[in-house]
Structure 1
């Protein structure tokens, strides 16, 4: 799985380098508001994590359209009663951006996540979750001329992340993200 993620990242970067007219690189930091949804999620609640960070490149094809692949470390999870389960992912969002007006963009695209670790109050529970997660991300962003940018997104998980032996329950990640970034010129 790690090889697949690495090959995907290299392929995306190679494609964008060859296709782009204007490429900018940047970093971003944000907060996640995450939970899981599925068959028996009545008692499951949202958790807030201030840890979401990574790097991106924005490849402009013209004034209206650009492509923004990202490599992000993201702490997600959920709570059940007093137990908090944290899921640490290395994510690869592949965002298409449409600029409605100068600086303001609508964003959407697929996202692949690789589960790095899973903890329930300090206990390792990674075996209870599938290693790969994929979903659809959409949101809005605003970029200032000095390179500072802001975004609000929602990642709707499409894959069942439950890997508990004998369980037929299906669960998907759901993550709202607020972030601030800086593009280097």
Structure 2
């Protein structure tokens, strides 16, 4: 009987503690500074530079026990890189629908640290590739990049009392985004490059 009462008390405490936080819905947008980390193209020659773009979407914050919360998001995130090799160049554009699922811990009121997996589905890709005639061309490159991607995100947010918030986050790629392809017996896109992105965001939640 004592064990049942103790478990009931713990459950009630957890419930009331969770309810002390607020369930929130919000929207956010901001700056992406993205790059493809890992192997460089053409046997390690050239350089993979950063590409500046944006992200936009919505989120919900679900209170858990104590100072913890869960924050799933749904974002449109434009990523990729700028690549240079002599006179050649390749501004690779990779557009994803991203679903971060982040655990949040409130350090003090308004200030939280966050970390968790970030899943992605590729919806658009533009870049340079070799076509069936073995010509180096630019265009729709979705077939030479994988449709699914995963990152690990870590960052922090600060929310003002009126609902506006600001956040900083770094998403480290966990999987290679490249999809190998073959033209005239030669295999291209064989490097293993991950999509990494640094994000600065502003938003509003209520």
Match of residue 170 from structure 1: 192
Q: Secondary structure of 1:127's partner?
A: helix
Match of residue 160 from structure 1: 176
For the aligned residue pairs, the C-alpha RMSD in angstroms reads 1.6
1:80 to 2:83 alignment: yes
Match of residue 146 from structure 2: 130
Alpha-carbon distance in 2 for matches of 1:113, 1:72: 9
Contact 1:127 1:164 in 2 (8 A): no
Among 91, 96, 107, the alignment partner of 2:114 is 107
Alpha-carbon distance in 2 for matches of 1:56, 1:63: 20
The TM-score normalised by the length of structure 2 is 0.76
Give the CA deviation at 1:164.
2.4
Give the CA deviation at 1:64.
1.1
Give the CA deviation at 1:135.
1.2
1:150 to 2:154 alignment: no
The TM-score normalised by the length of structure 1 is 0.84
Aligned structure 1 segments of 4 or more residues deviating by more than 3 angstroms: none
Give the CA deviation at 1:169.
1.6
Alpha-carbon distance in 2 for matches of 1:126, 1:103: 40
Match of residue 100 from structure 2: 93
Give the CA deviation at 1:62.
4.0
Q: Deviations over 1:107-150 (max 9, x none)?
A: 00001000000012761001110000001000011011111001
Alpha-carbon distance in 1 for matches of 2:176, 2:80: 14
122-131 or 152-161, which moves further after superposition?
122-131
Match of residue 13 from structure 2: none
Among 119, 126, 130, the alignment partner of 1:119 is 126
1:183 to 2:205 alignment: yes
Q: Deviations over 1:8-28 (max 9, x none)?
A: xxxxxxxxxxxx743110000
Match of residue 4 from structure 1: none
Give the CA deviation at 1:83.
2.5
Q: Deviations over 1:49-98 (max 9, x none)?
A: 1x200000001124511100000000001011242111000000001100
The unaligned stretches of length 5 or more in structure 1 are 1-19
Size of the alignment, in residue pairs? Answer: 164
Q: Secondary structure of 2:37's partner?
A: strand
Match of residue 51 from structure 2: 47
**Bigger Rg, which one:** 2
Contact 1:140 1:153 in 2 (8 A): yes
